[in-house]
A and B are shown apart, each in its own frame.
Chain A
Amino acid sequence: MSLKRKDILGLQEMDVDEIELILQTALSFKDILGRQIKKVPTLRGRSIVTLFYEPSTRTRTSFELAGKILSADISSISPSTSAVVKGECLKDTVLTLQAMKPDLFIMRHQASGAPEFLANLVPACVINAGDGMHEHPSQGLLDMLTILEKKDRISGLKVAIVGDILHSRVARSNIWGLSKLGAEVRVIGPKTLLPADIGRLPVKVYTDLDEGLRGVDVVNVLRIQLERMKKGLFPSTHEYSKFFGVNHERLKVAKDDVIVLHPGPMNRGVEITPELADCGECVVLDQVTNGVAVRMAMLYLLLGGTDESVVA
């Protein structure tokens, strides 16, 4: 099987078979990450451009490593070092880059929908590496891969996403991906950080952390951005941490074998206590490793690879 699509813009538009194909392919690729020589010739001669309009360390590095392990040629562009600072509009930037004939673009952008705009303009493949408050599909997939590894299944699990749901593309990709694979998804956060009509997505909505965490198998703790405080969305990190901070005490109502995810970077002592962040239930480093595997799978499958011939 291969992916029959040009772009990966979000998990909302993907069906269950496609998501499972990526996760299974990622599991096969993970083997390569454990080798001493981490290089396979799979994407030799294919060129990839990363276009990051927002700062990113882990996502960008993760995509770059994924591409390099598969022997693709990767060029990275960021607005601060490109013609964007000279006032070039997005359309001209991408048409210029397209003229250099890359096979695939990886884009992060502060505007929701920017990768879709790009995908409609260029014949090359496009992967959304996070757009505004919309989706972050590779993060959603790596979260799912981590859950799958730890729990052997996704269907039937109760997964709580805690924090700033309003601004979170991670939350949206998790909601779509997990619900499609049969998990019960809960969102927990202060009313001011829950988007309008969120209850019409396939989720249960809570503003009480204890109630929302009751009986869950997985907790995905989102990063709380301090600039939200200045916009009057919550009063202080102190109060946020008191009502929505996740720690061992609050997790007592969850399943005994609960695992804790965080997309990073963490605000230790705010949305998650340092003790919890550093303990065995917290799988953030597994998420990072799985991120490379998932992104290898995305690149590989989009550029025409099939699951029959994964490990070279």
Chain B
Amino acid sequence: MSQLLLKGGRVIDPSQGIDKIADVLIRDGKIEGIGEFDQQGLDHVEDVTGKYVLPGLIDMHVHLREPGFEYKEDIASGSKAAAAGGFTAVAAMPNTSPFMDNRAIIEYVIRRGEAANFTRVLPIGALTKEMKGEEMAEIGEMIEGGAVAFSDDAFPIASSGMMRRVMEYCAMFGVPVILHCEDKSLCDDGLMNEGITATTFGLRGICNEVEDIAVARNLMLARLTGCKVHIAHVSTRGSVELIRRAKAEGTAVTCETCPQYFTLTEEAVIGYRTNAKMSPPLRTAEDVEAVKAGLADGTIDVIATDHAPHSLDEKETEFAVAANGIVGLETSVGLVMTELVKAGVLSMADVARKMSQNPAGILGLESGALSEGADADISVIDPSAEWTVDPAKFCSKGRNTPFVGRKLVGKPVLTVLRGRVVARDGMVV
């Protein structure tokens, strides 16, 4: 019998209303109890005094690139990055090669995740074959194979008719549909947020309405079909407001944002910095404030990362041809702690909700809580650890972060997966 005692931490589990200094006892990979325990006779005790003990964090939006783009990331390296970043589960997007649009690939990804065994790898199936938006993929088969959600991510379904049908079909199974909201016809080869910065530096702009219009349409279709819609990476004040209103009207919608959208503005692009190029683009200070307000009032349910590793060559190039996206797994907790918790936007209970309980609920997982008898997936965060972002230390193969050199306060210091310590102090064990 193996035991692990997390001693003296501040245990936070909003699903059970727990917020207290306590020990967490783990036996054979399961949580045995929360309370005061004698460490006598236990073979593994971790002193977590002064640290937060949270249900294992879940990042419901990552790109692990395997199969097909292993030069950017693979399931093993991405899993290590997740563990190092405090995540005990990640949901992997289907834009791989071949696409994750059939049961065989879904099962392959699950097997690869289990083989790596640093985090739970939960595959998201494609909504349509090859993510072309034309023919529906075998959604039912993929659910049986273990897909937890469906998305065509950055290849959003343009046709409202097709979108309606996939929503209706997914509603039948009760699985969530994750939507990257972008009206490509309005985007028009845009490279960054539309406005003074894009105009000054001669880069084609992407107006907020590129996102807002797609969000509005998808909310209407969610209402029509009863599908559980989850809006990915909210970046604009307009879409925060649209989702707030839809929720008030009773639409079954949830949404996420990412650290970059509550931390950075379009000005991060100045100097043609390709590590600030992403989709949706970084917006203005007004949007950042609206995203924070949406996080604070509960409109935004989830903080994900949209972890999008790329090789150096794909970023060290002209801005126009540089790949979209940034890595996020290993900076997310630090940014959340620094920009949201320390700044008074969110409480630690909010963090536990948005990074564990809510994603677990949306994806229909049993995790997201520190319940007795549950698998011991736990993230320990040191709120006072000061550190500087150094991509050379990342477990991810991707080094593409706009946060290089940023000083953060708050760090994942212990990640426990099924009772086993998989990462310590930002490094995998």
Query: Are B195 and A196 in contact, CB atoms less than 8 angstroms apart?
Result: yes
Please measure, in the bound complex, the distance between the C-alpha atom of A16 and the C-alpha atom of B177, giving whole angstroms: 56
Q: Decide if A114 touches B194 in the complex (CB within 8 Å).
A: no
Given contacts A91-B316, A196-B194, contact A132 B202 (CB under 8 A): yes
For A196, give its contact among B205, B316, B318, B320 (CB under 8 Å).
B205
For residues 205 through 248 of chain A, which have their beta carbon under 8 Å from a beta carbon of chain B?
none
On chain A, which size bracket covers the interface?
20 to 34
Residues of A118-145 at the interface with B, using a CB-CB cut-off of 8 Å, are: 131-135
Cα A195 to Cα B199 with chains together (Å): 6
Return the CB mask of B168-208 against A: 1 if under 8 Å, else 0: 00000000000000000000000000111011111111010
A89 touches B (CB below 8 Å): yes
Which of B205, B272, B318 is packed against the most chain A CB atoms within 10 Å?
B318
Are A112 and B317 interface neighbours, CB within 8 A? no
| A195 to chain B: closest residue by CB | B199
Closest CB of chain A to B80's CB: distance in Å? Answer: 29
User: How many angstroms from the CA of A89 to the CA of B314 in the assembled complex?
Assistant: 10
Contact B199 A197 (CB under 8 A): yes
State whether B207 touches A196 (Cβ < 8 A): yes
Shortest beta-carbon distance from A195 to chain B in Å:
4
The verdict on B365 contacting chain A, using a C-beta distance below 8 Å, is no
Complex Cα spacing A84 to B182, Å: 33
Task: Answer yes or no: B38 CB below 8 A from chain A CBs.
Answer: no
Which A residues touch B202, using CB under 8 A? 112-113, 131-135, 169, 172
Nearest neighbor of A231 in chain B, beta-carbon distance: B188
Q: Given the complex of chains A and B, what is the CA–CA distance between A197 and B205 in angstroms?
A: 11
How far is it, in angstroms, between the C-alpha of A89 and the C-alpha of B318 when the chains are bound?
Answer: 10
* B-chain residues with CB within 8 Å of residue A91 when the two chains form the complex: 313, 316-317
Q: How large is the interface on B (under 10, 10 to 19, 20 to 34, 35 or more residues)?
A: 20 to 34
Contact A114 B203 (CB under 8 A): no
Shortest distance between the CB of A267 and any CB in chain B (Å): 22
- Enumerate chain B residues within 8 angstroms of A113, measured Cβ to Cβ: 201-203, 272, 318-320
Contact across chains for B207 and A201 when beta carbons are under 8 A apart: no
B205–A134 touching, CB < 8 Å: no
Q: Provided the pairs A12-B200, A172-B200, A201-B200 are in contact, do residues A195 and B319 lie with their beta carbons within 8 angstroms? A: no
Q: CA A120 – CA B194 in complex, angstroms?
A: 26
Residue ID in chain B nearest A194 by CB atoms: B199
Q: Is B321 an interface residue (CB 8 A)?
A: yes
Query: Chain A CB within 10 Å — which of B199, B202, B272, B321 has the most?
Result: B202
The answer on a CB contact under 8 Å between A117 and B318 is: yes
Inter-chain CB contacts under 8 Å: number: 68
Point out the residues of chain B lying under 8 angstroms from A201, CB to CB.
196, 199-200
Residues on B with beta carbons closer than 8 Å to the beta carbon of A109: 318
| Structural contact, A90 and B319, CB atoms closer than 8 A | no
Q: Is A112's CB under 8 angstroms from B207's CB?
A: no
A90 contact set on B, CB distance < 8 A: 317-318
Contacts of B195 in A (CB 8 A): 196-197
Q: Please state if B199 and A111 are interface contacts (CB–CB under 8 Å).
A: no
| CB nearest neighbor in B for A117 | B318
Task: Determine if A18 is an interface residue (Cβ-Cβ < 8 Å).
Answer: no
Q: Are B319 and A111 in contact (CB under 8 A)?
A: yes
Chain B min CB distance to A120 (Å) = 9
The distance from the CB of B133 to the nearest CB of chain A, in whole angstroms, is: 23
The reply to whether the CB of A116 lies closer than 8 angstroms to some CB of chain B is yes
Q: Which residues of A contact B (CB under 8 A)?
A: 12, 89-91, 109-114, 116-117, 131-135, 169, 172, 195-198, 200-201
Extra 4 A-B pairs, beta carbons < 8 Å, given A113-B202, A113-B203, A116-B271: A134-B202, A196-B207, A197-B199, A200-B199
26 sampled A-B residue pairs with Cβ under 8 A: A89-B313, A89-B317, A90-B317, A90-B318, A91-B316, A91-B317, A110-B320, A111-B319, A111-B321, A112-B201, A113-B203, A113-B272, A114-B318, A116-B272, A132-B202, A133-B202, A133-B203, A169-B202, A172-B200, A172-B202, A195-B198, A196-B196, A196-B199, A196-B205, A201-B196, A201-B199
Which 9 pairs of residues, A with B, have the shortest CB-CB distance? A134-B202, A113-B272, A133-B202, A112-B202, A111-B318, A195-B199, A111-B320, A197-B196, A200-B196
